[in-house]
Structure 1
């Protein structure tokens, strides 16, 4: 990954990327982040730059350096704000389930309604994906982001972490808000989930940056007959 000096100090860029991975669960709490040599190779920077970035994360309370062991993740900022709730996808994988993502479509939305107007763009991209649980369709997602963001042309990118991809485009996430309800999906969504057209659990997620601007909105349907939606909390 090649960093750009025009975007500021290299160690700050590295720190921000590592922090984003911690917040989004790529680096899990109590797990080790990659070693300094691995990070040097990934970001193509010096050992001093990596050490300074990790030291900043330690000062902010995200990680702890342990001699002879490595650097351990201590806290996830977003998880802490959610009373230390575990990410649902992490729970499923931790329970031994197989979870994979399938890219469905990328379209441009021109007629915007709420909350898409909050994305501050005349046009909005809609990224449609399907989560497959143990070989069966489980969650249907539509992610909406501003058309001002340059998206990769390779569709394979969209089966990986959207947050990592958006970070590379300069998007920075600070907080998330989830709203749950029950509604009947459109016929094509029901077909993708391989269910009858019936009420399903829905989740709306609002993703905000540090200036509290909406930068991503997603709408998801869950087939809870395959698995209930579970949230774990540590007291």
Structure 2
């Protein structure tokens, strides 16, 4: 796994990578993460760098260090202020599934005045395209569009691991309201190829609009789910 000082402190990068693996079931609840010497070798860093990363995870309640046992995963759900409930991926991990994110494409877009994106974000927005794998089978094709609240010098490479909502929080933006809509759709050629289904196959399409406390649209996303692989579940608590 490649890390570089250009992206910030090495221990924080390692912490994010390990946390992502925990959140997506690579290191399941109750199991131990690799030993410090193994992590030192994987990331080519010092013992102190690894220890600082693990200590951060322990302070946040994700792992617990036990003498003679190792470092055990004790929590695999988010404490993000952005969500009062559990994310769909967290529910899948709780049920023993493993989720892997693959970054397909990132770019800054110049929106045409007559386009829907211009109406949402104005002349410029950030596009992030990702594929989610469920137990090593392609499951969700996501295209995210973000308001131009980030500097153009932002490094996009780390988005293969980082949650978009964590990134938004890092820039001091609090998402206050979400609006989701669902529809039955058909897979176009690109999505069909990514999800390994036939073109025009019936899939679930999810649209999400995320707003800040002032009602400004921060994120607009399109998600395409192969529900033949795993149903998408929505629980409403009264």
The normalised TM-score by structure 2 is: 0.57
CA RMSD of aligned residues (A): 5.0
Deviation per CA, 1:29-84: give whole Å up to 9, x if none: 32322210111123332223322332232233221011222111212352785358
Question: Aligned-pair distance for 1:191?
Answer: 7.5
Does structure 2 retain, via aligned residues, the 8 Å contact 1:2–1:44?
no
- Where does the alignment leave 5 or more consecutive residues of structure 2 unmatched? 112-116
Residue 187 to residue 59, structure 1, CA distance change in 2 (3 Å): closer
1:124 match = 126
Does structure 2 retain, via aligned residues, the 8 Å contact 1:105–1:128?
yes
Question: Aligned-pair distance for 1:220?
Answer: 0.8
2:114 match = none
1:204 match = 208
2:8 match = 7
After superposition, where does 1:20-99 map in structure 2 within 5 Å?
20-23=20-23, 25-78=25-78, 81-83=84-86, 87=90, 90=93, 94=97
Deviation per CA, 1:77-103: give whole Å up to 9, x if none: 5278535866365478739xxx88888
How many residues get paired? 210
2:141 match = 140
Does structure 1 retain, via aligned residues, the 8 Å contact 2:103–2:160?
no
Deviation per CA, 1:2-27: give whole Å up to 9, x if none: 4428934x544543443444445544
Does structure 1 retain, via aligned residues, the 8 Å contact 2:187–2:203?
no
Residue 205 to residue 131, structure 1, CA distance change in 2 (3 Å): farther
Deviation per CA, 1:137-179: give whole Å up to 9, x if none: 7543223356934556xxxx9xxx822598xxx9576799875
CA distance in structure 2 between the aligned counterparts of 1:196 and 1:218, rounded to whole angstroms:
21
CA distance in structure 2 between the aligned counterparts of 1:34 and 1:133, rounded to whole angstroms:
20
Name which of 216, 220, 225 aligns with 2:223. Answer: 220
The normalised TM-score by structure 1 is: 0.58
Residue 65 to residue 18, structure 1, CA distance change in 2 (3 Å): same
- Where does the alignment leave 5 or more consecutive residues of structure 1 unmatched? none
2:194 maps to 1:194: no
